[in-house]
Structure 1
Amino acid sequence: MLEIGWKYTNAWLVGNLFCKLLLVVRAFGLYLSSNILVCISIDRFFAVLYPLRLPVARRRSKQMLYCAWAAALACSLPQSIVFRVKRHPRVAGFEQCVSFDAFRSERQEVAYTVFCLCAMYFVPLVVITVCYVCIFCEIRRSSKELDEKCPARSGIAHVRLRRSGRRVLERARRRTLRMTVTIVAVFALCWLPYATMAMWYVTLHIH
């Protein structure tokens, strides 16, 4: 709604306070979405590697969500300093919510851009990828252990049990692989345009 209204009016019509507040809210949503995906991946990581620690898992999940909200708020609050309403020097009565002259030097602006890009994209992408790769490796290792522990020649019931457990692990491995590729690919591709533009901006100002 913010973007639609902003594009429709072209100018900023709701004053300096809402310029700062709404830009903080917009950034907060972006940071929080990335942080929640990180929490989900970490929670699944612990659920697969340490499946018997349910009481700890519930407490850990709540703590991770609190940290996700707190980190998103902390990362988005600088938007209230960066953005402010300014009047157009040539068009009378035209005001816009901008970030012009918010930094003392280009280095500070580049550093802030790199921080935002890392916090929103690169760090979550690395954490999500590592967690799901570890989950897949753990399921694969469990499948190999099941084959090694069960002898080739055993009773019919034992063979059926081994085959049943193997099918479950194979199914879990396939699902985990699909889930890993899907989640990482969707996250990476959805954020790629923003990351590309931000990196282009950083490269342009460095050179």
Structure 2
Amino acid sequence: MKERSARPLAPPLPDGARNENPKDIGFWALVAEDFRTHDGDWLSQGFWALFWHRFGNWRMSVRSKLLRAPLTAVYRIMFKATEIFCGVKLSYNVPVGRRVKIEHFGGIIVGARRIGDDVVIRQNTTMGVADRRDPNAKPTIGDRVDIGAGAVIIGDITIGADATIGANAVVLEDVPPGALAAGVPARIIPRAARPTPPAGGEPVGVQGAGIATRPSE
């Protein structure tokens, strides 16, 4: 029997040796933006998961290892606390864009290569590798992707901008921009591109094939 050719290994993931926070905004401005994205709720588990993720990246901008050491100790403690009390596992070496919203909480594992801007992630979502022989094979999530509850997105795949991942979908292949992926395993359903949010608005969710917005505060 003819053997199938092995799939090439995925390129290396970010090594965590540098600050991967968005470069076009300062740390505290980024935290304030995350706070607004989570509806100004200090008790939002999603906000705190992102706060400690941003902190974990910010500390890498402190060049002195001696000065960075106590910050690293704080980060490691709070990373584990966030995993336990918020139900969100999001390592600092996963680059995360701006205005990402973690809706609800619990059972969320974000093992992605990159998360784009304006992404919505819901409870019981898993992103990670599809084959333990290739630990670098993790998904890339484009801008404005809406991920339904219970979704599984695994492997070295790309979820295109403005795509929607249906609840409980198991996504094993690339999803084109603007498409819907639903089912187990997920089927790709092309759709018309979403309208561009009006100036001054922020994406907050999906209504049918469009996207809802709210005015900036």
Higher relative contact order (CA 8 A, sep 6+): 1
User: Normalising to structure 1: TM-score of the pair?
Assistant: 0.24
- Larger Rg belongs to: 1
Higher strand share: 2
User: Normalising to structure 2: TM-score of the pair?
Assistant: 0.23
Higher helix share: 1
